Amino acid sequence: MFLTGFAALAVMPLLPVAARDLDGVGLYPLVAGAFVAASLLGGVLGGAWADRGGARRPLTAGVVLTVATLLVSATSTTIWQLVLGRFTDGIAAGLVAVSVNAAIGQSYPDHLRARALSLMSACWIVPSLAGPPLAGFVAASWSWRVVFFGVAGFTLIPAAAAVLLLRPAQPAASQGPQGPGSPEASVRRPALPATVAVSGAAALTQYGVSAWNAWHAACASVGVVLLAAFAPRLLPRHTWRAGGGLPATVLLRALTSGAFFTLEAFVPLMLSTARQVPGVVTGFAFTGAALAWAGASWVQGRLQNRVPRHRLVAIGAAIMAAAVAVAALCTMPAVPPAAAVSSMAMAAVGMGLATPSLTLLSLAHTPADRQGYASGAMQTSQSLGQTLVLAVTSALFTAVSAASTSRLPAFAGAYALLILPIAAAACLAGRTRVADAGQHDASGLPVATAEGQLR
């Protein structure tokens, strides 16, 4: 996870440079969006694979594929080869992320899972401090291609470890009935055609909102229609209705991730364009956010059995709402730009509390031999949330920018829109609560067990 984080934070800042070098700046939104879109596909494939034979094989495939895709990107001679490299890298990232979560669910006891997830977050601290400046120095001294080659060399270490050291482990068999009315029967197995359709639609949507004209509007419309038609097939039933248990947990992952990563995209853009802040300040925003996320994740790992997980999700969402409000205030010229930097760190604190808690809740709501499916659904939901929230916010931002001489009102509108998914997450957090078997609610009716909430 450490080297995966280093690879991600070293490569991302260099993508605009690579696109310009390959005469493909116009296709940069597709270069950036291909990774997120492909992680949908990788997450679904990895989840099903982990359920069939344990997390080792999809994890091994993910880290080995990461090395290969970095080499594809490093040797790019056209922008389309770079797009291909980023797309396959997204598949690899989806495999790795889902496999790590499934492995924690299959291998760790309940009281250690929170600390294991906090350790995964801590692995991003050093990469956030060293990755971007080191990659920038290497690119300036030699070439962006050297960075890709170097990261591929570093990633050989976890690839070799996965191949040579990890022991095979089978997921525990689920206990209970297997008939048509059983919880297992209600789990919807994602179909590969639907997964491919959603992955392509996500990339098409992100490309469509990159400009304001008839062609891009048509692409975005087709992408949204395809997402509406096929995305529900990849998620638990009643996800869009926030059904109690796993469906609500999956939905909240989409809402919180979509809001945070959209904020993370717009705050640096506002600092560099509307507020004319030096690039080093923007870099501090990313570093502060990574440190804040890791710190909050460490805190949630120490709150095991002290604070209910669904309450940590609600607290995290409330902190994110405050962060968005601070970012909105920074659209006023009288407010110092440094406040916008702090808004990213505040939002990261909220995510550090909410994201591991949602992952643990998803595992608690899932039978042992379906935790790969749950991890894949969470990864799919995260990617969909990022795609849809960013697309809607970008469309509003583009429209307001076209009608105004200043970009600050467009940023204010974008931040105001982000309040909606965050408020929804805070209000729906109670639906993710884990209920023990035999527990009764205030009316005396039995509360659904964790397995039953898969319905």
Cβ neighbourhood burial of 200 (10 Å; 0-12, 13-18, 19+)? buried
Higher pLDDT, 350 or 144: 350
Quote the CA–CA distance of 84 and 67 in Å, as a whole number.
Answer: 14
Q: How far is CA 205 from CA 10, 117, 310, 350, 418, in A?
A: 26, 31, 32, 27, 18
Query: What are 99's two structure tokens?
Result: 């496999």
- β-sheet bridge partners, residue 446: 440
- The tens digit of pLDDT for each residue in 380-390 reads 888 788 878 88
For 1-166, CATH number out of 3.90.1150.10, 1.10.760.10, 1.20.1250.20, 1.10.150.530 equals 1.20.1250.20
Q: How many CB atoms lie within 10 A of CB 295?
A: 17
Are 57 and 90 spatial neighbours (Cβ–Cβ below 8 Å)?
Answer: no
- The tens digit of pLDDT for each residue in 207-238 reads 777 667 788 788 888 888 888 888 888 888 88
CATH superfamily of 238-433+448-455: MFS general substrate transporter like domains (1.20.1250.20)
Whether 238-433+448-455 and 1-166 are alike in CATH topology: the answer is: yes
pLDDT at 418: 94
- The tens digit of pLDDT for each residue in 271-282 reads 777 777 765 666
Name the pLDDT band for 169 (thresholds 50, 70, 90): low
- Per-domain residue ranges for the chain? 1-166, 238-433+448-455
Query: What are 238's two structure tokens?
Result: 């009643």
Helix (H) or strand (E) holding 433: none
pTM confidence score: 0.72
Quote the CA–CA distance of 261 and 348 in Å, as a whole number.
Answer: 10
Sign of the C-alpha dihedral computed for residues 332, 338, 343 and 344 taken in this order? positive
